[in-house]
Amino acid sequence: DGTSSFLGVMQINNNLTTDGSFFVKNSGVTKAQILDDGSASFAGGLVTNGAISAYGDVNLFDKTINIKNVGGTSVLATISNQGVSSFAGAMQINNTLTTDGSLYVKNGGVTKAQILDDGTSSFSGDMTLSSKMLMYGESFIMHSGPDKKIELRNDGTGSFAGGLTVVGSIQGHDDI
């Protein structure tokens, strides 16, 4: 039937060609296989000293992908089977970042800026705008701690908790 078996080590010094599938078994259990349709599976890890190229889908079932440094001592990035990912260094996005949820910007684990999925946002430091700030809500409110200090409303009125200093001229169109 063309079957061969070896009790010890078999050494092949050149190419191994098979017209069909290739199976590696241990105690009758298949541990690795390369099928004649080009697919392959391995019961353990796959180690390569070169690049792994995939021309099609790469499917990961019930595992996490860890990208490690050259020595294998530090995990630099992970992608879990739940779709959660983390990166130890910078991640570059060349076009659009779309998030179906909230976006947090952190430094040392401390949230410095956030855009929440309810449309609100907050920043712990200064926010600089290089152009106009357009607002379409009811009012612009400025607080110092819990105290409201300034409110400018969309009907053109405003209130100030302290004095109002005008540098230049002022024109009153109603009673002042």
How far from each other are the two terminal CA atoms of the chain, in whole angstroms?
108
Helix (H) or strand (E) holding 105: strand 103-107
Tally the residues of the chain: 176
The tens digit of pLDDT for each residue in 33-89 reads 999 998 888 888 787 887 788 788 877 777 888 888 888 889 999 998 888 899 988
**The whole model's pTM is what?**
0.51
Which 3 state secondary structure label does DSSP give 161?
Answer: coil
pLDDT tens per residue across span 109-157: 899 999 999 999 999 988 898 999 888 889 999 999 899 999 999 998 9
Determine the Cα–Cα distance for residues 80 and 66; give it in Å rounded to an integer.
9
Bridge partners, 107 (sequence order): 110
Measuring CA to CA, how many Å separate 124 from each of 105, 106, 113, 127, 149? 10, 10, 6, 9, 18
Task: Report the C-alpha gap between 23 and 40 in whole angstroms.
Answer: 10
CA distance 34 to 23: 7
